[in-house]
Structure 1
Amino acid sequence: MTDSAARVPLPAGLPADAALPAVVVELGRRFAEAGHELSLVGGPVRDLFLGRGSGDLDFTSDADPDAIERIGAGWADATWDVGRRFGTIGFQKDGWQIEVTTYRAEKYDPSSRKPTVAFGDSLEDDLLRRDFTVNAMALRLPQMDLVDPYGGVRDLAAGVIRTPGTPEDSFSDDPLRMMRAARFAAQLGFEVADEVEEAMAAMHERIGIISAERVREELVKLIGGAHPRRGLDLLVRTGLADVVLPELPALRLETDEHHRHKDVYEHSLTVLEQAMDWERKYSESSPDVVLRLAALLHDVGKPATRRFEPSGAVSFRHHEVVGAKLVRKRMKALKFDNDSTKAVSRLVELHMRFYGYGEQGWTDSAVRRYVHDAGDVLNRLHALTRSDVTTRNRRKAARLEHAYDDLERRIEEISEAEQMAALRPDLDGQQIMALLGIRPGPVVGRAYKHLLEWRIDEGPHEQAEAEAELRRWWAEQPESAEENEG
């Protein structure tokens, strides 16, 4: 941001280095000079007390949208009014995204989350309609008076999520707030007040009226939080997960009396937390939601594949294949983008591929295939596979770690020698068509695939060797025989 921090007197209880962007003070003065109230509200105020920065700035005012727009004219670098019917005018100033909303006192249709907008006439009433007490605080501008009628500072200090009014009224107005409660628990590491959790459990089915896109948005923020286990556990305990992510509570398999298999649900949460540690090494971004989702959901195929063997052992054969299908179906239902869906399901499908490497050893061909099949999720697969080791047996854990270290070393060696990152057949499509005298079509694709498999199995070849292999393959194809007969 180009805007410098404004050093102005702030309410007691804020960190010593807390400061507001200068645009906050400037805008407050403009509204006061125009005879209107303005308050910084919600997340930015909460984050001041938490010592965190906020990317956007939200304000509320007694001014109507037309007045808000007039006050910002000539000051803002840009203005937009797409939220005008909800009382919101947006500004851009010195790199800051600013939204100013007229005091609200909206009501909701019980069958929908869309509000019927009614403008209010007081800051306190506006704060009452907000989701949680920690977001129902405001700073009156430009005097910097803290307005906290519902105990937001108290709940921030105690690390508790509460609603300004009754949670039943709040969640009835907007069921998405139940997901937001879990999200804030995950992001802030807070506990949810007993009455809030009880209301979530009693009303969890109302989340079904919320669009898949909005649910996905909250789930992604939850998964990307610093404490996702807290939020996920809350979703499961209250029944919300039964509606939005039923594969997760399904992992709570009955543990047999002899404990011959792990608690799959707890194991999955542990793998998620361990993946958060590994993502710092293997991922380009943190949080890496794709990796975290794969870690959380890697065993969702186990409930459907669990078998009790005659020996008394428990097996989950092919759970990774079943799990990948379940993940694709759920992520499509939640309207995830195709790339993320493909990446998470691929990781789930491949997460068992490594096991057995330490005992059996792999040929160079098997190592190449591992790299090829992982493709652009290889680094995430490294992180997921390492995270999946939750055994308390230190010897076994050390053995698996050593084996994976060895696999990564071999991948690096073979990649350096053979340029595996761009693994392709020794002949391209044009060369295949020229050599066989054929036109574009399915046969070219089959030939290309054969040469790729041959390349993976045996490594790179000289062009003459590849041409000889292509002729050998072509001689076995029915199209070749038909051509010779003709």
Structure 2
Amino acid sequence: MSADLLRAQQNAVVEMVSIGPVAEELAARFAAAGHRLYLVGGSVRDALLDRDISDLDFTTDARPDAVLAVLKGWTDAIWDTGIAFGTIGARRRGTTVEITTFRADAYDRVTRNPVVRFGDTIEADLVRRDFTVNAMAVELTGEQRRFVDPHGGLAALAAGTLDTPATPQESFADDPLRMLRAARFVSQLGLTPAPRVLVAMTEMAGELSRITRERVQTELSKLLLGTHPRRAIELMVDTGLCEHVLPEVPAMRLAIDEHMQHKDVYTHSLVVMEQAIDRETDGPDLVLRLAALLHDIGKPDTRRKEPDGRVSFHHHEVVGAKMVRRRLRELRYPKSVVDDVAQLVFLHLRFHGYSGGEWTDSAVRRYVADAGPLLERLHKLVRSDCTTRNRRRAAALQRSYDSLEERISRLREQEALDAIRPDLDGNDIMALLGLPPGPQVGKAYKHLLALRMERGPLSREEAEAELRAWAAENGVDTGSA
């Protein structure tokens, strides 16, 4: 390529990167102090992809103390929690910036923590970055902006290729988390790993054991919330990474779906996840996506061959919910996420027990009560779990679920279906039976709740009569009541 053509391409790239007034002001301050400032990494990549950029990442030849001096009096807020690694964070008029001194780190390759060493050139800084698409920079402090791309990141981005500046083996040995980041970029950006990256990921998957569970969970969540999570999960399974993150997912390849319509439960689960994503209405939903991916992980442990030759997975939803709790806790997910995903897995088969249309009011009440605030997600999961290629059967299942939702709507009009409580509360029970707080009050409450589920709302007189009858039948000492 001629020098003129290269310069023309670089100028065109620079024009594509819109940095905004905050970056312009920052560059002017660094230039006035005699330092260089570069927009770098994901900020350049996302600008070239015309993606929204909420935060700006910069690198500079200025050492941290000099960076603090440049920022003094200009920022609305500043934090230096990363100063040991050369990173200063700041906020200006609602824009967050991170400025990191050139780095030329070495890694001990036992942990993922670098031995921090500051560098002197942008080229040395870029070669230590994870992927070539993140190893591009735009210099903002020269006489004119300059695009810096020593590792072909622009060409890789145009080709949709994910490769590393150094060899993948070197890069992943330095920081094994980069292998999960590769899967994340497959999901978020639709990139395809270069063949040598795939080889290294497969050879080095076990190195993930060096990474804390919290960091693994963060990357897993980001890739699940991306645009192409199925591709990312398939990459993790094919390279062996998933064995060290969600081993229950590749284990599903061993179980043949009972409908015999899919090669295995693993493929079925990926399809369910995609169909659940299609039903999202308020943006990516981590709980729904996790539940869809993991809803059948109990099948390998419950697989049985019946006398008639069919394969069954009795109670796989119960086993699966327990497995979900164990795995998500191990990955340090928040308790609310663990509880919600496990409950959706536990409930995902409930509908099929009534899919013939014989739903009673009592069954509808229990379905709504057990789902609680997860009801809308449960609707999406159950509908997504239909992956049969038999169009008539699929249509029949959808009609049956339409009927259930109609029943729920009708009951909602008649009673407070979303907040089902006994017709008498704990205070009423204690007053009527003369009981102090304790286990007997709880048992009475559960009895009245079961009646509420079975018969719907009772009048005050009916509820009190039922409570007294229960107390008499169970020999409850009612004191002086």
Q: Is this contact kept in 2: 1:11–1:144, CA < 8 A?
A: no
Q: Which residue of 2 aligns with 1:249?
A: 250
The alignment partner of 2:129 has SS state of coil
Of the three residues 369, 372, 381, the one matched with 2:369 is 372
After superposition, residues 355-394 of structure 1 pair within 5 angstroms as 355-394=352-391
CA separation in 2, counterparts of 1:361 and 1:386? 18
Give the distance between the partners of 1:102 and 1:397, measured in 2 at CA. Answer: 58
- Deviation of 1:78 (Å): 1.2
Q: Which amino acid aligns with 1:178?
A: M
| Paired residue secondary structure (1:59) | strand
Q: CA deviation at 1:304?
A: 0.4
Aligned partner of 2:418 among 417, 421, 434: 421
| Offset at residue 382 of structure 1 (A) | 0.3
- Cα distance in 2 for residues equivalent to 1:445 and 1:362: 29
SS in 2 for 1:279: coil
Deviation at 1:259, TM superposition (A): 4.6
2:356 aligns to what SS in structure 1?
helix
Q: Bigger shift: 256-265 or 186-195?
A: 256-265
Deviations 1:113-137 (A, max 9, x none): 1111110111111111111000110
Q: Where does residue 211 of structure 1 map in the other structure? A: 212
Once the 2 structures are TM-superposed, how far is the Cα of residue 248 of structure 1 from its aligned partner? 0.4
Q: Tell me which of 458, 461, 464 is aligned to 1:461.
A: 458
- The Cα offsets for residues 334-366 of structure 1, whole Å up to 9 and x where unpaired, read as 000000000000000000011143314110000
Which residue of structure 1 lines up, in the alignment, with residue 174 of structure 2?
173
In structure 1, C-alpha distance between the alignment counterparts of 2:202 and 2:229, rounded to whole Å: 19
Give 1:262 deviation, angstroms.
5.1
Task: Return the offset for 1:370.
Answer: 0.2
Cα pair 1:13 1:49 within 8 Å, conserved: no
Q: Is the 8 Å Cα contact of residues 426 and 441 (structure 2) preserved in structure 1?
A: yes
Asked if structure 2 preserves the Cα contact closer than 8 Å seen for 1:261 and 1:314, the reply is: no
Structure 2 CA distance for aligned equivalents of residues 356 and 209 of structure 1: 45
Which one of 466, 470, 474 corresponds to residue 473 of structure 1?
Answer: 470
Query: What residue is the counterpart of 1:4 in the other structure?
Result: none
CA contact (8 A) 1:260 1:313 kept: no
Quote how far apart the aligned CAs of 1:108 are. 1.3
| Residues 257/289 of structure 1: CA separation in 2 closer, same or farther (3 Å cut) | closer
**Counterpart in the other structure of 1:31:** 30
Structure 2 SS opposite 1:23 = helix
1:258 deviates by 11
> Residue 3 of structure 1 corresponds to which residue in structure 2?
none
Shift of 1:29: 1.1
Aligned to 2:130, the other structure's residue is in SS state coil
Q: Classify the secondary structure of the residue corresponding to 1:460.
A: coil
- 8 Å contact 1:260–1:314 — kept in the other structure? no
Distance of 1:12 and 1:473 partners within structure 2: 84
**2:297 pairs with one of 297, 300, 316:** 300
Looking at structure 2, the residues matched to 292 and 258 of structure 1 have their Cα atoms a distance apart, in angstroms, of 23
- Give every structure 1 segment of 4 or more consecutive aligned residues whose post-TM-superposition deviation is greater than 6 Å: none
Instruction: Name the CA shift for 1:306/1:261 in 2 (closer, same or farther; >3 Å).
Output: farther
Aligned pairs for 1:316-465 within 5 A: 316-465=313-462
- State whether residues 14 and 138 of structure 2, in contact with CA within 8 Å, keep that contact through their aligned partners in structure 1: no
RMSD: 1.9
CA distance in 2, matches of 1:199, 1:148: 24
Secondary structure of the residue aligned to 1:75 is coil
Segments of 5+ residues of structure 1 without an aligned counterpart are 1-8
Q: Which moved more, 1:293-302 or 1:105-114?
A: 105-114
The equivalent of 2:151 in structure 1 is 150
**Paired residues of 1:15 and 1:51 also in contact (CA < 8 A):** no
Q: Give yes or no for contact 1:183–1:222 (8 Å, CA) kept in 2.
A: yes
SS of the aligned residue for 1:60 comes to strand
Alpha-carbon distance between aligned partners in 1 of 2:278 and 2:262, rounded to the nearest angstrom: 25
The aligned amino acid for 1:301 is G
The alignment partner of 1:90 has SS state of strand
* Alpha-carbon spacing, 1:256–1:388, altered in 2? closer, same or farther (3 Å): closer
Tell me which residue corresponds to 2:76.
77
Alignment of 1:51-90 (within 5 A): 51-90=50-89
CA gap of 1:268–1:256, structure 2 versus 1, over 3 A, is closer
1:288: Cα distance to partner? 0.1
Contact 1:62 1:103 in 2 (8 A): yes
Which stretch shows the higher mean deviation, 105-114 or 215-224?
105-114
Q: Percent identity?
A: 57
The separation in 1 between residues aligned to 2:270 and 2:407, in whole angstroms, is: 30
Give the 3-state SS of the residue equivalent to 1:354 in structure 2.
helix
Alpha-carbon shift at residue 107 of structure 1 (Å): 1.3
CA distance in 2, matches of 1:11, 1:52: 20
Residue number in structure 1 paired with 2:230: 229
Using the alignment, how far apart are the partners of 1:477 and 1:213 within structure 2? 50
Partner of 1:6: none
Equivalent residue letter for 2:228:
H
Change beyond 3 A, Cα 1:424–1:207:
same
Which residue is 2:5 aligned to?
A: none
